[in-house]
Amino acid sequence: MTKVLVIYYSAFGHISTLSEAIVNGVEQVDGVKAKRVRIPEFKDESICVVNQRTNQKEEGLGQHFKLTKRVEDYERVQQEQSNIPVATMNDLKEADGIIWGFPTYLGSMPAQVKSFLDQAGQFCTTGELEGKPTALFTSAGSIHGGHEATLLNSIVPLLHLGLIFIGLPYTQNPEYLTDKAVGCSPYGVSTLAGPDGSRTPCKDELTMAGRLGERVARVAKAFTVAKPFE
Ligand SMILES: Cc1cc2nc3c(=O)[nH]c(=O)nc-3n(C[C@H](O)[C@H](O)[C@H](O)COP(=O)(O)O)c2cc1C
């Protein structure tokens, strides 16, 4: 059985929703099983969405973000995710393919994810993740808020780990060839949350998320049979 790990961090649930579509796509491929895990949250005092409630007012630009409601959303979503196992270094070692999902924070990955990846840095010297197919999905507040930047700059640590990056090709994903506000690009899956987080992933984004899962699963399965790096 080929194992694909879908590993994610989600504050408000958009990434969590995409991760379910990705799992469904992975499991379209015979002989491939998905495991969904979440990257651990920081301790309370460093969680930026909680700090925003105490440090910012809902006036000026802050009105657009509906911060008080966002913290309520955050607390609800964390509760809903409490049954998803917390990711470990062992999960990475056991997987034949790894798909990472996280929101765009300042045009890059959240610190929670970077912290987890830094711990995985131990595998640079052991080579235990080398040759495994990998892919990315993200979510951003606004259309030009940096989802493509996040996908592109997040490839860098994955290459340090020796993972083999899988994108989302045009011919199989015509939905992103549009003038409408739809996420996804050749670099991976993405969705738009809207400034106040009220937009949820649309049908096209969920379809493309499924296809990315399936694509990684196909490559992971082929690699477990062919063992091209042994
Ligand atoms: C600290 C922080 C930084 C953010 N930075 C960006 C940003 O650079 N661009 C953007 O479009 N949205 C930004 N957002 C909005 C998030 O991308 C949005 O809340 C996220 O995509 C929702 O995903 P989730 O529901 O899985 O948490 C930021 C949010 C937070 C809390």
The domain 2-42+66-222 having CATH identifier 3.40.1160.10: the answer here is no
33, β-bridge pairs: 3
Token representation of residue 89: 């270094």
Closest atom of ligand 1 to 48 CA is: 1
| CA 108 / ligand 1 centre spacing (Å) | 10
Q: Which H or E run contains 175?
A: none
* pLDDT at residue 204 is higher than 70: yes
Handedness of CA 181, 185, 191, 193 (dihedral sign): negative
* pLDDT at residue 69 is higher than 90: no
133, β-bridge pairs: 164
Residue nearest to atom 11 of ligand 1 (CA): 145
Sort strands 164-165 and 133-140 into parallel, antiparallel or unpaired.
Answer: parallel
Give domain limits for the chain.
Answer: 2-42+66-222
Using the structure block, give the residue that is written with the tokens 């670099």. Answer: 187
Q: Which residues line ligand 1 (CB under 6 A)?
A: 10-15, 48-49, 103-107, 139-142, 145-146, 193, 197
What single-letter amino acid sits at 213? G
Residue 133 vs residue 65, higher pLDDT? 133
pLDDT (mean) for 1-12: 97
Residue 125 vs residue 46, higher pLDDT? 125
Residue pair 35/87 in contact (Cβ under 8 Å)? The answer is no
Closest atom of ligand 1 to 16 CA is: 26
Closest atom of ligand 1 to 147 CA is: 11
* pLDDT at residue 54 is higher than 70: no
- What was the pLDDT predicted at 56? 63
pLDDT (mean) for 76-93: 96
| CA 229 / ligand 1 centre spacing (Å) | 37
- pTM score: 0.95
Closest atom of ligand 1 to 138 CA is: 21
Other C-beta atoms closer than 10 Å to the C-beta of 142 total 14
C-alpha count within 13 angstroms, C-beta hemisphere, residue 19: 25
* pLDDT at residue 215 is higher than 90: yes
